Chains A and B, each alone.
Chain A
Amino acid sequence: MEGIEQWKTEAQQWLQQGIEYAHQIPPTQLYAAVAVLLFTTLLLLTIRLLKRTKSNTIVLSGLSGSGKTVLFYQLRDGSSHQGTVTSMEPNEGTFLLHSESAKQKGNIKPVHVVDVPGHSRLRPKLDEFLPQAAGIVFVVDALEFLPNLSAVTEYLYDILTKASVVKRKLPVLICCNKTDKVTAHTKEFIRKQLEKEIEKLRVSRSGVSDADIANDYTLGIPGEVFSFSQCINKVTIGEASGLTGEISQVEEFIRAHVK
């Protein structure tokens, strides 16, 4: 107790000294100092705000083997190099899209692209990137689509019901990949199948048990058959072939949301 008392008196003395010292400084200098201080804090604040509102992060997600890493390198280098294997870590990079860097049109903003591995054990990583994302590309393997249908749907459902997606109305592009192969399913087929499967999931998950599964929001409008148009955020569907470099729809999506 005594210690605290002592501290108090000491502090008071210092305060006094400080005030006295302040009185000695000419007021103009004081005002200038205060102004500079205010200005810098304001500047820092605005920079942070700007950064927040104008994110340039695009997240590539989707099951393992859907072709995210290939897509990532196509976007960055315009080539998939010597091929890929299952990713063990996210790929990240901030760059001008390869197709744009050729043009050199001056002030285009670089995009921060993150490729989050699809292996289910690595999915928690997705939550690290979603809060700063400006858009999500959900890559679907159009070739091996039906065997993976329920796994794809589940992952997509999880993403579409995450608070970080719904609250911020993150746009999602469902990208049907590998369309270079003739046996690939069309995007219309894939959309219908996904909507149908999500409808089933919605029925089994909503109403029954909210606490069971950690979904933050429910999807769609109760009483109506689910379609992507019911989502609060914009969900579009597109086609691409990462391997052959036909990725214009992905690039358009990215440029529509990172300006």
Chain B
Amino acid sequence: MLEQLLIFTRGGLILWTCKELGNALKGSPIDTLIRSCLLEERSGAASYNYDAPGAASYTLKWTFHNELGLVFVAVYQRILHLLYVDELLEMVKREFSEIYDPKRVEYFDFDETFRQLRKEAEARAEELRKVKPMGNDGRKQQVVKKGSGGFDGGNKKNKSDAKEADGDDGKGRKLENGHSNGNHNVVGEGNRGMGLANGKENARSNNGAFDVSKLQKLKSKGVKKTTDTSVVVSKGSKADPKKKVTKKNRVWDDSPKDAKLDFTDPVEENGNENIQVMAADQGESMMDKEEIISSDSEEDEEDEEVGKDSKPDAKKKGWFSSMFQSIAGKANLEKADLEPALKALKDRLMTKNVAEEIAEKLCESVAASLEGKKQASFTRISSTVQAAMEEALVRILTPRRSIDILRDVHAAREQRKPYVVVFVGVNGVGKSTNLAKVAYWLLQHKVSVMMAACDTFRSGAVEQLRTHARRLQIPIFEKGYEKDPAVVAKEAIQEATRNGSDVVLVDTAGRMQDNEPLMRALSKLIYLNNPDLVLFVGEALVGNDAVDQLSKFNQKLADLSTSPNPRLIDGILLTKFDTIDDKVGAALSMVYISGSPVMFVGCGQSYTDLKKLNVKAIIKTLLK
């Protein structure tokens, strides 16, 4: 059963809900959907799962009408695997956009239309279900023939089917026919709707993939022989390779790890050499320096780039037609119009080292937000797409939570508690070095800092941290190796409370995201000490691996935690930012996948080389 179906404006006003369904939704699935999915540039996904407090767990599906600025959301119990929801949403969208008037806010007359649409959709789903177990071509051909035979055929079929179905269903189908117009082709229509849904689902989510694959099989078996459903067939076959591609993508682990391991250790040593002894003052940390971008030159560059980009585009399309289109403003943007521009944009993002999966999802989300929209006059599609992408990027990279660490430190100080930061990450990304940089920055703000050497795993780790502590002249808490890091951290925090340190920076052992025992240990450390900030240290060099690292870290922290609401990664420290030139994609990938902001950027070998992320500059670079 459908739990609820809502129609609301992007501004947030509910225009219509189904009162008949009348189920009060538990929790706030709609708000959660908007906040954590639609506004996080994940609207390209096929569905969203929401677990309400209590037992209910919902699946939400949605569709946009971008030109009118409307959102359609359907909510149903997850266990039900409703097959007709996508189709129903599309139908509701089509019907509702006919009667929509921006000045009107109430649509009680839509109740009746909806009742019919729903019955229609349910009937169709029922039909598909019945067809499925039979599975033989003969039967299906029969259905199709009847369907293409037009109105009468449809009716006949309904009569014959009604015998098998219970009374209610029969009624539903009759109603459907009453509503439809003469050339209504039941099977064709149904499949088209499903086909669309299929492509979408295959590309992204495994939710309900079960149902979809079944449907797909069904389709390729059944509809092949008809002529008027060739669209569907081609769509179905198109969906297949897509599926394969995503599968390939999922095998992250096999991808080469950018020779990272060989690279980092020397860097760390270098770092130690370069930092002079008695480095207690190397000047202001770059965290506090206003970044001055030579905006003029950059802008010039950008313009040039745009010029370059546009040329081949324009040539392909033919000078005149593109010119005409740009002046007249094209009616409504369609997926096919957007495709080339999106493809180009995706490639551009990928050359900037954005993980492929992320680039793909972003483009889908941008497509979802543009499809059906009126294009403004005097604009090219590529620039419309680019503008939409820029907006999306601004949204993603704008921190969701406060990244004002100093304030939180002050707040903790007031409560006479040390502010605890745990640095986590894979091996050799520069955790200790950057921990020292953060310490240096905090010292400059007259915050007393203590280090806790909880890397009791890698030999030399404690010594390395001790060197930093000596140079910065701050206390370090260490218990040697072979100790449980969680306990060491705990003792360190107790010590800090005793001696009145404001901040405890906890260094942990680097670990690969797949190393279960070590991840379990980390989860324990975090659970036991409940730090104020879990900082993920990641290399700006990583490409596709960024997704795997962060998602697995978060996943493992959630899975292996013994507490009901586990702590996840709160923020990101991006290291080696000075070595990547314009390949700044890792920043985007990491923020997107974790939903946490980049709080620091390490950009060099000295203690002062710690910066804030310059969101504007990143976006500029990404889209260049």
Contact = CB atoms under 8 A, between A and B. Distances in A.
A222 to B, nearest CB: 17
Contacts of A8: none
Nearest to A201: B407
Given A88-B38, A119-B39, A209-B288, A200 B14 contact: no
Interface in A83-118: 83-91, 115, 117
Interface string A57-84: 0000000110001000100010001111
B170 interface: no
B78 interface: no
Interface stretch (B3-11, B171-179, B458-466, B576-584): B3-11
The number of chain B residues touching the other chain, given as a range, is 35 or more
Given A85-B34, A89-B10, A124 B71 contact: no
Interface string A198-233: 001101110011111100000000000000000000
Contacts of A203: 410
A120 interface: yes
Contact of B406 (A69, A84, A122, A209): A209
Interface stretch (B82-90, B204-212, B326-334, B393-401): B393-401
A208 B444 CA distance: 9
A129 to B, nearest CB: 14
B292 to A, nearest CB: 11
A88 B39 contact: yes
A22 to B, nearest CB: 36
A69 B8 CA distance: 12
B398 A124 contact: yes
A83 B19 CA distance: 13
Given A65-B31, A85-B12, A89-B69, A121 B395 contact: yes
A154 interface: yes
Contacts of A89: 9-11, 69
A123 interface: yes
A204 B398 contact: no
Nearest to A83: B14
Interface string B68-94: 010100000000000000000000000
Interface in B253-295: 287-290
A204 B404 contact: yes
Nearest to B394: A124
B287 A86 contact: no
Given A154-B402, A200-B411, A84 B14 contact: yes
Interface in B606-621: 612
B474 interface: no
Interface in B441-462: 445-446
Contacts of A209: 287-288, 406, 445
B410 A204 contact: yes
B35 interface: yes
B39 A121 contact: yes
B1 interface: no
Contacts of A211: 287-290
Residue among A64, A84, A90, A121 facing the most chain B CB atoms (10 A cut-off): A121
Nearest to A91: B11
Contact of B612 (A65, A208, A212): A212
Contact of B12 (A87, A123, A212): A87
B11 A87 contact: yes
Given A122-B39, A211-B290, A73 B13 contact: yes
A85 B402 contact: no
Contacts of B39: 86, 88, 119, 121-122
A88 B391 CA distance: 13
A86 B35 CA distance: 7
Interface in B350-406: 394-396, 398-402, 404, 406
B40 interface: yes
B106 interface: yes
Given A121-B39, A121-B40, A91 B15 contact: no
B17 interface: yes
Nearest to B407: A204
B105 interface: yes
A90 B11 contact: yes
Interface string A117-147: 1011111100000000000000000000000
5 contacts: A83-B14, A88-B10, A122-B395, A204-B404, A212-B288
Given A88-B10, A121-B398, A124-B394, 11 more contacts: A81-B14, A81-B106, A85-B12, A86-B31, A91-B11, A119-B39, A204-B407, A205-B407, A208-B445, A212-B404, A213-B404
Interface of A: 64-65, 69, 73, 77, 81-91, 115, 117, 119-124, 150-151, 154, 200-201, 203-205, 208-213
Interface of B: 6, 8-17, 30-31, 34-35, 38-40, 69, 71, 105-106, 287-290, 394-396, 398-402, 404, 406-407, 409-411, 414, 445-446, 612
